Amino acid sequence: MSDDAIHLVRDVVDHEVVDVHQLPCGVVDDIELDFVPGRGFRPVALLLGPGAWQRRLPRWMAAIARWLSGSDEARVPWSEIAYIGERVALRKTAAELGLGGADRKWGARLSRVPGA
Amino acid sequence: MNILELFLGILTAMGGFVEVGELTFAVNAGAKFGYSLLWIAGMGTVGIIVYGEMAGRVAAVRGQPVFNLIRERGGFDAGLVTLTAATAVNVLTCAAEIGAVALVWQLLADWPYRLWVVIAFLVLVLSVWVLPFRWIERVFGLGGLLLVIYLVVALVEGPAWGDVGAALMPNVPVLESSQQYMLYAYYAVALTSSIMLPYETYFYSSGAVEDKWKPSDIALNRVIVMVGFVLGSLLCVSLIMIGSQFFGPRHVEPQLPGVVATSAAAQFGTAGLLVAVLGMFFAFAGAAIETGLCGAYNIAQFFGWPWGKFRRPREASRFTLTWLAVFVLSAIVILAGVDPVSVVEYSIVFSVVILPLTYLPLLLVANDERVMGAHVNGVLAKVLGWIYLAITTVAALAAIPLLVLTHGGQG
């Protein structure tokens, strides 16, 4: 493997994801792979959110986590990645990719508080 | 480098060094074992300098704070264990600091303790809501500098300088029983933990991102950490000396911050008492804010939420709601009647358990030339980093057995 090659586990999984404005919009919790006969596996999407990270937990912990945080999961097509560096940067805004919905929902409620 | 910024950074690091756990453990360590634990203060200070500098440098180069690295390098499972433990310790420490602020205010007006807890909670939440990050750092860090009164008290009391110098070298005093040796080891571990509290590294690196540090700020980071933390550790050293010189001979083992302040009153009367009380208020309130914010920083960084005081609360809503929740939980713990000094003892001991889990990912990233480039750890930082990782690992393994064997430090 060349030095420039991307190591999916080392360089992508568990790395912060930022949108086109550098706004944090999650962490890569899992990667969806596609099997191409004769060529092996290729990554097709990033999976983010409680539904994705809960699969990495023991069953009893996943049940508690599901109760606490729900099981929403976002799928970002691999083609939406602008570059992979210290963070995984996306080509579009978080809202366009269906990310950060919880922050927008709570943000709308908080905006009624003076100083928010 | 802006000289004013450097000066304020140093003073803030110094003033923010002491919190209620360090205050009680340092004074009691002096009262029980004389100067003999001074070397632990020196050793702990070098440790927090090594890892504080590393955390600031990594944040300046990569723009990423500690909990991003814990998840990135430790993976989800190990990271989640660290996050859970760190959150529990943050809530306990924040609870202890809120309780300590209430105890300090009770010295000024004899209102019911729980009323002071509620007032302290409201003042802290309002301060975090209203003040920008830089002003939070400065107001509470600079206010904490009033604790320099303890340094003056320690010097005025006339220390035995020969003994102080000897105690700065690693030593174990001759004690009467094996139980006493265990108690000495317990205090050594607790004092190390109170100086190297993990939240200090979380807060420092998150602060570097809040202040938008760049690689050009690495020199600033180095000077602030080295000078500010060394000056801050002088406060810790002076508290051990006061314990040895003032409380030890009187057979007093201070459990409450107000009792510690009597040493200042004995030297400088009411003015000394007031300065000590005000200094403790700023130091404890600053620590409460740091731990409250750290609870939210850690969770937000682990899950990749927008975070930071540089964003408006509505733009980082889950981060904002999380620090509010940490303050509410902490206040509930104290309002339930839990003694803040007991809480702090447990939070200090459990803090040491998560130190290696915090430091290892940080050390791995700072050692990695691929991600740090020219700012990778040098030989000295690497060697000291591994030595202190070993020291904190031994302390982490010994902490809970010592807590049990010494009946929570009671001997």
pLDDT tens figures, A2-19: 556 888 988 999 999 999
Q: How far is Cα B34 from Cα B29, in angstroms, rounded to an integer? A: 7
CB contacts, 8 Å: A48 with chain B: 304
pLDDT at B382: 97
DSSP code of residue B159:
-
Whether residue A51 contacts residue A73, with contact meaning beta carbons closer than 8 Å, is answered with yes
Q: How far is Cα B306 from Cα B291, in angstroms, rounded to an integer? A: 19
Whether residue B181 contacts residue B36, with contact meaning beta carbons closer than 8 Å, is answered with no
The answer to whether the Cβ–Cβ distance between A108 and B314 falls below 8 Å is yes
Shortest CA distance from B315: residue in chain A: A107
Look at chain B and report how many structural domains it folds into: 1
Q: Is residue B410 part of a domain?
A: no
Neighbours of B288 (CB within 10 A): 32
Shortest CA distance from A13: residue in chain B: B72
Q: How far is Cα B389 from Cα B364, in angstroms, rounded to an integer? A: 11
Domain that holds residue B45: 3-405
Tens of pLDDT, residue by residue over A70-83, are: 889 999 999 999 99
Shortest CA distance from B314: residue in chain A: A107
The answer to whether the Cβ–Cβ distance between B313 and A110 falls below 8 Å is yes
| Cα B379 to Cα B62, B354, B386, B391, distances in angstroms | 21, 25, 11, 18
Q: Best mutation site among B314, B319, B364 for testing chain A: the one with the most A CBs within 10 Å?
A: B314
CB contacts, 8 Å: B63 with chain A: 86
Residues in Cβ contact with A59 at an 8 Å cutoff, skipping those fewer than 6 apart = none
Residues in Cβ contact with B142 at an 8 Å cutoff, skipping those fewer than 6 apart = B8, B11, B12, B15, B282
Tens of pLDDT, residue by residue over B247-288, are: 999 999 888 899 999 999 999 999 999 999 999 999 999 999
Q: What stretch of H or E contains A81?
A: strand A81-84
Tens of pLDDT, residue by residue over A28-75, are: 999 999 999 988 899 999 999 999 999 999 999 999 999 988 889 999
CB contacts, 8 Å: A26 with chain B: 303-305
B339: domain CATH number? 1.20.1740.10
Domains of chain A, earliest start first:
8-110 (2.30.30.240)
Q: Is residue B314 part of a domain?
A: yes
Q: From A15, A45, A28, A21, select the one nearest A93 (Cα to Cα).
A: A21
Q: Is residue B72 part of a domain?
A: yes
Q: Is B131 exposed, middle or buried (0-12, 13-18, 19+ CB in 10 A)?
A: middle
